[in-house]
Chains A and B, each alone.
Chain A
Amino acid sequence: MGFLTHLGRDVRNLLFRDSEQNAIPSMDGALGPNDRLDRCEPIGEPLPGADDAVAHGDRLYVSAGRQVLRLSGEGFRERALVHAFEGEAGGLALHPDGRLIVCVAGRGLAALDPDRPDPQYLAPGPAGSVGGLTAVTCLTDGTIWCTEGAQGKTANDWLRDLLDKGASGRLLRCSAALDRVDVAAQGLAWPNGIAPARDGTLLVSESWRHGVRRIGLDGARQPDFIRNLPAYPARIRPAKDGYHLALFGVRTHLIEFLLKEDEFRQEMLTTVAPEHWIGPALASGHDCLEPMQIGSIKALGIQKPWAPPRSYGLYTHVDDGGEVVESLHSRAGGRYHGVTAACDTPQGVVIVAKGAGRLLLYRPEAQP
């Protein structure tokens, strides 16, 4: 990077000092920090790799690693294997006709009847390879919509895509029979969640744009639903009122700074192992080689909850206007980090903390 590039960057910093990258909003108001996520009731034993959850009646389908499990009973203590895929299972959705739609890493979309699992895969279409699907949803008319984080990357490559400043994600529309697929929108910055909005459009969370975009069924972009979040959104799912929005990591000044330091970032990407990159993580604190920030130093045996977090747990409840109305946090030093999904069940809201490998049951009435 030459002198002029540096100069240009400095000038940009001066001229656009309030740009999204320079001005991370503080967590206040409904996003005010608390430790309520840590106080949620964990469901059963740890479930490493738990990624998404979808409820069907009193049953809960959960993707974890290569498996899709069915949880049921009081407190979802009973577990049963639905199917084990050859790739990692990610986003889940229920089709109006009762099929379970699963995003399978490296393969694409699979549909199966939960009672007689025999997955049927999405037929190859003009969209090319779709091995990196992140989330899926079904509309009442039977069409299946899914998001692909970035072209040519699987869902696990998200950190590289962030550090590449990627914006090659796509919104795909598939027919109910999974025999046709076409691209509804592209150039998205890691679309990581999708949900039908009540006004007939689609809400697509874009992690690297820190917001939720509204896209019409014709693929046209409409005014943003949520902008400039202090964290990276993951899956969004309709709630009884409003939406559940999971946020899998929070933005820090160091990461935003790193995104401006192209030379350093490139060198880091090529010379440092991915688990030691500077960036958000789903879980942290288990490896002394991971990057550390000065404020994260343990003082008198405690890591301050307000320390700059490498990983964080954040679940929000968003109203129909895109305003956050409630948030549950697990701050630095907390237990349940890396929240990737949340969904309504008759027993309460199930929150998936992928970083902790835990499912949490949030009963609003049990937490004052």
Chain B
Amino acid sequence: MSLTTFDGFGASVRRFSPRLLLSELMMKQWFEPVIPFFVMIGLWIGFSFAINDYASSINALSMLRLFAEFGFVALAMAFSLITGGIDLSVGAIFAFCNFAALYFVLVAELPVPLVILATLATGAVLGGINGFLIGVLKARPFLTTLVTLIILRATVNLLNTYYAQTFAINSTDSDAWDYIGSGAPLGIPLNAATLLVVLFVGHIFLSRSRYGWHLTAIGASRKAARHAGIRVRTMLFFTYVLSGVLCAAGGLFYAARQASTDSTTGVGWEFQALTAVVLGGVSLAGGKGTVWRAMIGALIVFTLTNGLVRMGIPGYVTSALIGMLLLAAVGIDVKWSKNRGKAIQKTYVNPARVALAAAPSVAAKSASPFAQNDRLLHADAIGLDQVEGPEDVILDRQDRVYGSTRDGNIIRFSGPDLKTREVFAHIGGRPLGMQFDRDENLIVAVAGMGVYGITPAGKSYKITDETNRTWYKLNDDSRLRMADDLDIAPDGKIYFSDCTTRYEMTTNTLDILEARPNGRLVCYDPATKTTRTVINHFYFPNGICVSHDGRSVLIASTSLCKVFRHWIEGPNKGRTEVLIDKLPGNPDNINRASDGTYWLALVGIRTPTFDLSMRNPGFRLRMVKQVPADEWLAPGLNHGCVLKFNEAGEPLESFWDPTGISHSTLTSMREHKGYLYLGGLENNRIGRVRLDGVDETWTGFDAYWGSKRRDRS
């Protein structure tokens, strides 16, 4: 079995749609930093034209060395923002740790490993103060860190004046200390290499570890996180400790590189870091952001500052520019996070043009096999007002009737007049197509869930809920979105339709309006317990029926109003062909008939205006946007129609309830011992009509697994 895309739908179909691509891109989390990423690249390119030797590896490396310390500080800011807080003291902690490192080296004369540990510990303690105030005492992050910023800054200035002379006189000749300042393993500056390692670890921590998820959860909703049992206080405390340690790392490298401290060290870095991080796409509201976004933003701010300085632009102009950038970034952040859902919604539906062949006549008393009649009008009602929308009906060997209803149940009627109603099983989801397997388990396609089985005792079990993912699709289509109908081949393989991968049960009318090949035919192989997509990109595959000889699968395409045949055995195996080209309506379930032909339900009748709208995708697009959902144009759904067709795809006769008095939105029918049982997606009953001149011992179960099989004769 190979993954194929069936291309027999006709050349008039335009597959690619830029709007579709955009809407699917917008749904992706990773799409948001795309714009800052390109801004970053653009800045780099711009400056390489403006500044000599900018685009050289030497320049790149030296800039990386300058950047790395700021990178640590920005990362510290990012972590505090992701938890829904803010750390304004990052610049001050950075400056304090810079001083501390110099003090440990030059005054305390500690060995270098101890200097590193002591400096990081200093950062941890300073961060711990923030963490204690914010996490444990529940102080406001903004004010708390503003206060620590002021106090630390004052302390640093005080210490600077006190130790300035000492630092100027003393010096160290430690190679290890020099290596921290100017070393370059593999040509990459040590501070940048460390930053890169930290970024990787940070990424894994944030996106793959439990604690990272907890951080994000707290940022998204502190209350919900607490209700979910996350230890909010402890997590917040350690976030600020982490922030302090990251600033300390920055300060350590800065000390080793510059070996000086003054009152301007790290001044204003908190705002640069904030600008950078928000610019990169870490939300001010918390709960959203990655370390990479923080770094993209930091690179933008750094490149801009650095480049403008090198072009000779005065510093205050640069500051003003950064300020304006922050304003723009914050504005965009607020607007985008508020309107992203709306933007996706506005662009998600992308109708395509479908030019259907002229609909065959359904006029009453015409010679057409589709001519309207009232053969279903007086069908017996089973379980009137006791079932809600039995999309599919089926009968077992004991002549009991099963209906799959919208409340997630399989309802069973039994007894002499089928008057005894019981809930055979509750699956949940929206059970749709059903079939009995060889062991009399009832296999059910459940929209929103997948394919489930029910044992004769009424116990339900999962068969499959995912298939292989299409590698080139942006939308993850591995989950089964809307399993619709299924049938079982003689070898036990379950073929089922997943009618749309873009919509849900509640919105599947949008798929019809969109008229794109969003569905697929999927096969579950019980021998290997694997699920594979057989035909990808199918126009709303709905009814599925394994042919009488067991060598092919019939597939009804609701939006194309055609029936297809897909060969699963024999010389044509793997090929798909059109079986019925022109139908007067939208086909739904297909089932076997006793005389070797097939039953087909038409859930909708093609109206001339709906056909016209199918040829006008722009009309449908604007309709979906401008007209309330209840008022969208639809195919005619208030009627019931069942067709019979033979193996060659020729329609033979039809059974109608033309104005849907007893059976509207008729979706399925099942022949059993001389009767035809009817089910409807929105109906309040199961119908039954007597068939004339048919084999009155024929049952569906026997046709698949018993004496009425035709595939072995």
Enumerate chain A interface residues (CB-CB to B < 8 A).
6, 13, 252-254, 257, 261, 263-264, 267-268, 271-273, 276-278, 285-286, 288-301, 303, 307-308
Contacts and interface: CB of A to CB of B under 8 A. Distances in A.
Contact of A297 (B613, B619, B659, B665): B665
A291 B682 contact: no
24 contacts: A6-B618, A253-B631, A254-B631, A254-B632, A254-B633, A261-B619, A263-B616, A264-B616, A271-B608, A277-B609, A288-B659, A289-B362, A289-B605, A289-B608, A290-B607, A292-B610, A292-B637, A292-B638, A294-B630, A295-B631, A297-B664, A297-B665, A298-B660, A301-B664
Interface residues of B, number: 42
A301 B662 CA distance: 7
B303 to A, nearest CB: 39
Interface of B: 362, 372, 385, 388-389, 509, 605, 607-610, 612-613, 616, 618-619, 622-623, 626-639, 658-660, 662, 664-665, 682-685
B291 to A, nearest CB: 41
A300 B630 contact: no
B637 A289 contact: no
Contact of B685 (A253, A277, A301): A301
Given A261-B622, A286-B659, A298 B633 contact: no
A291 B637 CA distance: 10
Given A264-B616, A291-B633, A299-B682, 14 more contacts: A267-B616, A285-B659, A288-B638, A288-B639, A288-B660, A289-B636, A291-B636, A292-B638, A294-B632, A297-B664, A300-B684, A301-B662, A301-B664, A301-B683
Given A271-B612, A288-B638, A303-B638, A293 B659 contact: no
Contacts of B636: 288-292
Contact of A301 (B509, B610, B684): B684
A291 B662 CA distance: 20
A341 B622 CA distance: 36
Nearest to A285: B659
B631 A292 contact: no
A293 B613 contact: no
A368 B278 CA distance: 65
Nearest to A264: B619
Q: Which of A263, A278, A300, A307 has the most CB of B within 10 A?
A: A300
Contact of A300 (B389, B616, B628, B629): B389
A273 B611 CA distance: 13
Contact of B638 (A261, A297, A300): A297
Contacts of A290: 607, 636
Given A254-B627, A292-B636, A293-B631, A276 B682 contact: no
B298 to A, nearest CB: 39
Given A264-B619, A288-B659, A253 B628 contact: yes
A257 B622 CA distance: 9
Contacts of A307: 630
Contact of B637 (A252, A277, A297): A297
A208 to B, nearest CB: 19
B610 to A, nearest CB: 7
Contacts of B372: 288
A28 B387 CA distance: 35
B354 to A, nearest CB: 15
B631 A252 contact: yes
